[in-house]
């Protein structure tokens, strides 16, 4: 009996952060988890969008395009460290989501690059956008705006790098 009680308490505790932070979307065999971006610094003209995609299907899919409200232009990028310098590559062929796999768009790796921002993003906002997959089609999503520098030790380095777009 004692065991059951403590187990229940543990479940309740682990659910609370999920209720607050997580939001997900489904289209076909894909589940898109927690799209987010960061508040932008004053005069910043670009931001990066992050999320994860899980493919429970039997065929690969490809994230071919994405949009984020407030951006004049978006691209799919990959940050790569070359000779100690962070570089961003434009992924013209999109990002493959392998059958049975999960791909994370996260700081220092794949991201949606939102450029030509009109007013920037403020913490607490939700930014509407879309994700387009080769097979599954287009799904509307909402990007939660976290504080400037949130959730990533690389935030500063990336923000600086993005400023050169």
The residues of the shown chain that bind Cu ion, judged by CB under 5 A, are: 77, 88, 113
Closer of 23 and 77 to Cu ion (Cβ)? 77
Closer of 28 and 149 to Cu ion (Cβ)? 149
Closer of 27 and 114 to Cu ion (Cβ)? 114
Closer of 8 and 89 to Cu ion (Cβ)? 89
At closest approach, how far in Å is the CB of 103 from Cu ion? 16
Instruction: Find out whether 127 and 143 touch, Cβ atoms under 8 Å.
Output: yes
Q: Which residue's Cβ lies closest to Cu ion?
A: 77
Instruction: Find out whether 49 and 67 touch, Cβ atoms under 8 Å.
Output: no
At closest approach, how far in Å is the CB of 150 from Cu ion? 17
User: How many CA within 13 A on the CB side of residue 75?
Assistant: 14
Contacts of 120 (CB under 8 A, 6+ apart): 39, 40, 41, 42, 44, 47, 70
Closer of 29 and 107 to Cu ion (Cβ)? 107
Q: How many whole angstroms separate alpha carbon 15 and alpha carbon 29?
A: 25
At closest approach, how far in Å is the CB of 161 from Cu ion? 8
At closest approach, how far in Å is the CB of 119 from Cu ion? 20
Stated as kind and residue range, the H or E segment containing 100 is: none
At closest approach, how far in Å is the CB of 137 from Cu ion? 25
Q: What angle do CA 12, 151, 46 make, to 5 degrees?
A: 135
């Amino acid at each position: 009996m004692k065991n059951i009680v403590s187990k229940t308490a543990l479940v309740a505790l682990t659910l609370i952060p999920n209720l607050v932070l997580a939001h997900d979307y489904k289209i076909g065999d894909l589940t898109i988890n927690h799209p987010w971006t960061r508040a932008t610094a004053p005069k910043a003209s670009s931001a990066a969008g992050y999320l994860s995609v899980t493919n429970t299907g039997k065929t690969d899919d490809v994230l071919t395009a994405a949009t984020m409200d407030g951006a004049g232009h978006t691209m799919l990028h990959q940050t790569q460290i070359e000779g100690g310098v962070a570089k961003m590559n434009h992924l013209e062929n999109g990002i493959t989501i392998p059958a049975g796999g999960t791909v994370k768009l996260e700081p220092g790796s794949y991201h949606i690059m939102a450029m030509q921002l009109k007013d920037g993003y403020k913490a607490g906002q939700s930014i509407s956008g879309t994700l387009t997959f080769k097979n599954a089609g287009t799904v509307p999503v909402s990007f939660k705006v976290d504080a400037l520098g949130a959730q990533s030790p690389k935030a500063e380095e990336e923000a600086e790098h993005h400023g050169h777009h």
